[in-house]
Amino acid sequence: MAKRKTKFVCQECGYETTKWLGKCPGCQSWNSLVEELEAPAPGSAKHRTFQSGAEAAKTKPQAITEIERKEDPRMSTYIGELNRVLGGGIVPGSLVLVGGDPGIGKSTLLLQLSATLSEHRQRVLYISGEESMKQTKLRADRLGLGNNELYVLAETDVEQIEQAIDHLAPSLVVIDSIQTVHLEHVTSAPGSVSQVRESTSSFMRIAKAKGIAVFIVGHVTKQGAIAGPRILEHMVDCVLYFEGERHHTYRILRAVKNRFGSTNEIGIFEMAESGLEEVLNPSEIFLEERAQGASGSAVVASMEGTRPVLVEIQSLVSPTSFGNPRRMATGIDHNRISLVIAVLEKRIGMLMQNHDAYVKVSGGVRLDEPSVDLSIAVAIASSFRDSPSDPRDVIIGEVGLTGEVRRVTRIDQRVNEAAKLGFQRVILPAKNIGGWNVPDGIEMIGVNNVNEALDATLGGMTSGSPKFEL
């Protein structure tokens, strides 16, 4: 009998080599190569196609203008925030990967999704590789979920799972989680690179051939990335990240890849005793604990996909005796904070070489768009002079390196959201004024540079010396 060959596979990136190495040449991670047996060659195994039609006929190249366009109706999840992130609902035959920190609520969200669909006469198969069927039942009872169309299976063998899918013919399959299932012909342990890759490939074949939507739960590493090879995210149709602090009630569902919709949308949930509840007005939630009359605070209207969200940006500037001042940011890119501080020093004359600067976005939201630059500058300047800004103001604008304030997109939606929450003034780029209807009760103040914005919000604070003597 021929000797089985072994190989060493990196558990982070999937790099393969014939000998053990302490450091992976592919991803530069240490002690990540694990010895695995090479799988036998397929030999005479027939090539399995990924056709979704009734007949598995061979395909041939076809002109794109001659291809018949067939749109399958999306399947609503009956959860508005999840529908928003998915782009309008679940596409039949799609493969969706859901990742997030332990205890963040991935299993709770998918169990609620399964129960909701089953209540609307959709057959759902929930497969748990981490819990027994009784444990899943206990969790469903705690959340008040359950229906005759919701089937539960505790299984880790992919072949047994495929037989259950063939028997039930469900509309949705949930795999919790991909790191626990395995294929018999793959010799490595469950959760390894080979098992995760081959198991995901099997579920992708099931989804495309049978037209069944498959949701897969993926564990994450300490760095926050989904565990397993990077190819896992390339294979699936949609990648969702469930974010939020474990000890806080609010959760954010964000799409980082979506072949059937936008990746700019977010869904906001609140963890309650009965499970995850939708947050229909996130702006009100993020601003409900805002302190009145405190310096270092500014409100910005940010766009998350097609939804305007008002959040508070907080800043704390304090003198330091060290030669290298600290610059820390939570919810905003650290480099953006350094850029805004450099503009304030060069264009406004705020000497902050001997001051630490801390900037935070309240509510656990992460802001990436450039329209938050001006509100960051106002918050830092407000804390620097210990002069509070007007709590009725919403500040919007992108800041350039020369100190100019540039126009932003969808200004009408941002201002309308501010009007709904009772704000009275909007400081915005002067180029954005005109061409749209201003809501009643809103005063528009257009600014051309950071200096004008600080004069409008902090009452001419740029004149005179700073409060902290250097």
In which band, very low, low, confident or very high, does the pLDDT at 243 lie, cut at 50, 70 and 90?
confident
Q: What is the mean pLDDT of residues 257-277?
A: 89
Q: What is the pLDDT of residues 407-423, one digit of tens each?
A: 999 999 999 999 999 99
- C-beta of residue 111 within 8 angstroms of C-beta of residue 140: yes
Please determine, for residue 40, whether its predicted confidence score (pLDDT) is greater than 50: yes
Q: What is the mean pLDDT of residues 40-50?
A: 45
Characterize the bridge pairing of strands 250-258 and 213-218: unpaired
User: Which pair of tokens denotes residue 11?
Assistant: 């558990």
Please determine, for residue 427, whether its predicted confidence score (pLDDT) is greater than 70: yes
**What's the pLDDT at 187?**
78
User: Which pair of tokens denotes residue 241?
Assistant: 């990240």
417-to-131, 185, 343, 363, 376 alpha-carbon distances in Å: 43, 56, 29, 18, 20
**What's the pLDDT at 96?**
96
CB within 8 A of 282, min separation 6: which ones? 268, 307, 309, 363
CA–CA dist 470, 466 (Å, integer): 9
- φ and ψ of 100, to 5 deg: 170, 165
- C-beta of residue 408 within 8 angstroms of C-beta of residue 398: yes
**What's the pLDDT at 245?**
67
In which band, very low, low, confident or very high, does the pLDDT at 247 lie, cut at 50, 70 and 90?
low
**What's the pLDDT at 16?**
86
Mean pLDDT of the chain: 86
**What's the pLDDT at 244?**
79
301-to-79, 257, 262, 344, 439 alpha-carbon distances in Å: 25, 25, 20, 22, 15
Q: What is the mean pLDDT of residues 220-232?
A: 69
Residue type, 362: S
Q: What is the mean pLDDT of residues 24-51?
A: 66
107 is in an annotated binding site: yes
56 versus 209: the higher-pLDDT residue is 209
36 versus 75: the higher-pLDDT residue is 75
Nearest of 153, 174, 157 to residue 106 by alpha carbon: 174
229 versus 103: the higher-pLDDT residue is 103
Q: At what angle do helices 373-385 and 450-458 cross, to 10 degrees?
A: 50
4 versus 210: the higher-pLDDT residue is 210
Structure-token match 């800041």, residue found:
399
In which band, very low, low, confident or very high, does the pLDDT at 127 lie, cut at 50, 70 and 90?
very high
User: Which pair of tokens denotes residue 215?
Assistant: 């949701």
166 is in an annotated binding site: no
Please determine, for residue 45, whether its predicted confidence score (pLDDT) is greater than 50: no
Please determine, for residue 44, whether its predicted confidence score (pLDDT) is greater than 60: no
230 versus 445: the higher-pLDDT residue is 445
Q: What is the pLDDT of residues 158-217, one digit of tens each?
A: 999 999 999 999 999 999 989 999 998 887 888 888 888 889 999 999 999 999 999 999
**Percent of all residues in the chain with a pLDDT value above 90, rounded to a whole number:** 56
**Dihedral sign, CA of 25, 26, 30, 36?**
negative
54 versus 228: the higher-pLDDT residue is 228
Q: What are the extents of the domains in the chain?
A: 6-37, 74-280, 285-458
DSSP 8-state code for residue 368? -
49 versus 62: the higher-pLDDT residue is 62
Q: What is the mean pLDDT of residues 14-27?
A: 87
397 is in an annotated binding site: no
100 is in an annotated binding site: yes
Fold (topology level) of 285-458 = Ribosomal Protein S5; domain 2 (3.30.230)
Characterize the bridge pairing of strands 398-399 and 405-406: antiparallel
**What's the pLDDT at 49?**
40
Nearest of 340, 334, 331, 241 to residue 286 by alpha carbon: 331
SS3 string of 187-247? CCCCCCHHHHHHHHHHHHHHHHHHCCEEEEEECECCCCCECCCCHHHHHCCEEEEEECCCC
Please determine, for residue 46, whether its predicted confidence score (pLDDT) is greater than 70: no
**What's the pLDDT at 465?**
35
pTM above 0.85, yes or no: no
In which band, very low, low, confident or very high, does the pLDDT at 470 lie, cut at 50, 70 and 90?
very low
400 is in an annotated binding site: no
Please determine, for residue 55, whether its predicted confidence score (pLDDT) is greater than 70: no
First to last CA, the chain: 81
102 is in an annotated binding site: yes
Please determine, for residue 442, whether its predicted confidence score (pLDDT) is greater than 80: yes
The answer to which of 63-67, 79-83, 337-341, 396-400 has the lowest mean pLDDT is: 63-67
User: Which pair of tokens denotes residue 87?
Assistant: 């782009």
The answer to which of 1-10, 19-28, 52-61, 167-176 has the lowest mean pLDDT is: 52-61
CATH architecture of structural domain 74-280: 3-Layer(aba) Sandwich (3.40)
**What's the pLDDT at 41?**
54
Name 218's bridge partners.
Answer: 99
106 is in an annotated binding site: yes
Structure-token match 């399964």, residue found:
114
